[in-house]
Every structure is written in C-alpha cells, then in structure tokens.
Amino acid sequence: MQDQGNSMGDLERGILRDLRAMPVIDTHEHLPYSEEKRERNTDVLKEYLGHYMSSDLVSAGLSPSDLERARDCSQPLRERWRLVEPFWEACRYTGYGRALDGAAREIYGIDGVRGSTIESLDAAFRAALAPGHYRRVLKDLCGIRVSILDGFFGGMACDRDFFRRVW
C-alpha cells in the first residue's frame, strides 16, 4: 500500500502507519543464506527474471530462448530489455510484476520498471550488492524479524541475524 498523497484518507493513512510498524516473520524465503553468498555476477534483469516473473513473461509470449538471452548479464542491458519490454507491459500488473515495481520504488528509489528507468534501476541494484543490503531491506525497510529459508542449499547453515532453516 503506497501513500498516494491527498487521495488517501485519514483512516487509510492510519492503517498504513500501523502496518509499517508491525513486526514481520517472513515464512517463505529463497534468498542466499548469508549476504556474502549473494551472486555478484548479476544485474537487475538477471535477478528479476530468475524466478516467478519469467513464467508470466513466457505466458505473455516471450520465447524461452529470448528469456535465456535476457538473463545473460554478459550482454548489453538495453538490448536485453528490448527483448523483454513488450511482454513486460503485458505482465506488469500481475502480482509478480507489481512486486518488482514496488521493489524498484521502495528499495532503489526508481519509479517502476520500464525502458526509461531500466539503466538507473540496474545501477542502483548493482550498488546494493554492497554489504549491508540485507539489513537495510529486510530489517530497516520491511521490519522482518526473521525469514524462514526454504531450500536445501547450504545445509542448515544460515546467518541467524536474518534467517532460520526449514526442510
């Protein structure tokens, strides 16, 4: 829920304020089990197209081979975006598309994912690969006390400041 300036009434503003103050337990997470394990050979398209949004894009008509090309961060970002952009517009209002637009705004200060923002979003994403990103996003922005890690990579190891493991 984003504050829409004057379009939001007192009740909505109060609910939003209370929601933002509420502690959170993230019950289903696929993040690397420590910040040091985050992939560094990446960019915003590889990251954003590595999971659920890719299914929406393929459903909208993006070919699987173009999806793989779009994920290849060794190729120029602008060329890869041109492969994705027509299908992105068809998917931007799915739950996954809205979540990524929200992440662009709330985490990186960029007004959504589109051709006019993709390069500045990528620069902000790459800058956020620095240490401290997990604390800033998970704790400071989202108020997450702990995230439950789903998956088998890394055994039971995890950064206990942020995560707990489940099998």
pLDDT tens digit sequence for 81-101: 999 999 999 999 999 999 999
What does the alpha-carbon distance between residue 98 and residue 100 come to, in Å, rounded to a whole number? 5
Using 70 as the pLDDT threshold, list the residues of the chain that sit under it.
Answer: 1-6, 152-154
pLDDT at 153: 65
Buried b (16+ CB within 10 A) or exposed e, 77-99: beebbebbeebbeebbebebbee
Domain boundaries, the chain: 23-38+131-167, 39-128
Phi/psi for 90 (5° steps) reads -75, -20
Closest CA to 41 of 100, 126, 122, 123: 126
pLDDT tens digit sequence for 125-138: 999 999 999 999 99
pLDDT at 2: 52
For the chain, what is the radius of gyration of the CA atoms? 17
Residue 159 falls in which region: left (phi positive, over 0), alpha (psi -120 to 50) or beta: beta
**Per CATH, domain 39-128 is 1.10.357:** no
pLDDT at 7: 73
- Burial label for 114, CB within 10 Å (0-12, 13-18, 19+), is middle
